[in-house]
A and B are shown apart, each in its own frame.
Chain A
Amino acid sequence: KNEVEQSPQNLTAQEGEFITINCSYSVGISALHWLQQHPGGGIVSLFMLSSGKKKHGRLIATINIQEKHSSLHITASHPRDSAVYICAVRAGNNRKLIWGLGTSLAVNP
């Protein structure tokens, strides 16, 4: 069992829908990252969280440390949001990130 699990693995939505991607982890962490990988392969860091909630534009990320769970929300989704969204955690004082396998999102016009 992976230490970082993402769900769903694949997601198809219609433009304008509210989207939620979930990340659960089984280790103690010092931080959790959400990243976006574009169809061409490029990776962009979206959020880094250690508690609470962060918002950037139409993206919202939340984390519940007690439940070891984080969610990434996309409001008013758009076809340009189509990408793979990856969750990664930094376990304790470990320098390495533990990666989820990603959620592939397709937003149809």
Chain B
Amino acid sequence: DSGVTQTPKHLITATGQRVTLRCSPRSGDLSVYWYQQSLDQGLQFLIQYYNGEERAKGNILERFSAQQFPDLHSELNLSSLELGDSALYFCASTSGVRDHRTSGSNEQFFGPGTRLTVL
């Protein structure tokens, strides 16, 4: 158990709908990363938050957005869902409370993932 929790585990919805995925980082971790893993593809970095602020953006679609709340949990919002959005969505958190500029090598701890199926 990594200490990172994600809900829900599975989500089935229809095209055009909107869903929210939730992630709680390990206790004490300030950084949360979101990743998308589609069938037969590697992990794609979506976005990173550090202590409530967006820190880095990857291949995140405009239909997707995220935020990190004061209690450090994060939500990934996916809207106007398309069939191609079906994937595993992982969040990860990094250990320690040091400033992110000096913690570039922090190990990432992954949540169990949310499997999204868009029908």
Q: A residues near B, CB below 8 A?
A: 30-31, 33, 35, 41-45, 48, 50, 86, 88, 90, 92-97, 99-102
Q: How many residues of B contact A (CB 8 A)?
A: 25
- The DSSP consensus for interface residues of chain B is strand
6 pairs of residues in contact across A and B, judged by CB atoms under 8 Å: A33-B107, A42-B112, A95-B48, A95-B55, A95-B56, A100-B42
How near does chain A come to B44, taking the closest CB pair, in angstroms?
8
Restricting to B38-83, which residues have a CB under 8 Å from any CB of A?
Answer: 41-45, 48, 55-56, 58
Count chain A CB atoms within 10 A of each CB in B41, B43, B107 and give the residue with the most: B43
CB contact under 8 A between A93 and B58, given known A41-B115, A42-B113, A44-B110: no
Complex CA distance for A47 and B16, rounded to whole angstroms = 40
CA distance A99 to B36 in the complex (A): 12
B108, CB-defined interface residue at 8 Å:
yes
Give residues 92-107 of B contacting A (CB, 8 Å).
Answer: 92, 100-101, 104-105, 107
Q: Which residues of chain B come closer than 8 Å to A94, judged between CB atoms?
A: 104
Q: Contacts A44-B2, A48-B105, A93-B104 known; A99 to B42 CB distance under 8 Å? A: yes
